[in-house]
Amino acid sequence: MTDLPDQDELPAELLAAAESWAERHGVECHRGLACHEGWKVGDWPSRHLTDLVPVNCSCGATARLFLTMDSGGDPGANVGRFGELCGFTCPAHASHPHRLNIQ
């Protein structure tokens, strides 16, 4: 299953095209195409609790999502108040500290 970026991360023209496609195919655009739930490595982070706020490394680079641990699914873990714990890494250098975000 392909995971796509959140609607806030898409240019307006591309978002309009995605919404049009989703409507024609009976898919809920926001959760049906983007930021799939569950545990995952890579892909796109969910922004369901906050606006699009980039997670930056101490060097200034925009960090990349490495791992999402989602509450409620297998293996039945609970993160915060049934949220998602996202771990980010620096694309510039692997020795830079990891960043965490809870949604």
Q: What is the pLDDT of residue 88?
A: 95
Give the global pTM.
Answer: 0.73
Q: What is the pLDDT of residue 95?
A: 95
Return d(Cα 99, Cα 63) in angstroms, integer.
8
Return d(Cα 25, Cα 49) in angstroms, integer.
27
Please enumerate in sequence order all residues whose Cβ is within 8 A of that of 80, keeping only pairs 6 or more positions apart, or say none: 71, 102
The predicted-structure confidence for 12-26, as pLDDT tens digits, reads as follows 898 888 888 888 888
Q: How confident is residue 45, by pLDDT bands cut at 50, 70 and 90?
A: confident
The predicted-structure confidence for 52-94, as pLDDT tens digits, reads as follows 788 999 999 999 999 988 886 666 778 877 888 899 999 999 9
Please enumerate in sequence order all residues whose Cβ is within 8 A of that of 61, keeping only pairs 6 or more positions apart, or say none: 90, 91, 92, 96
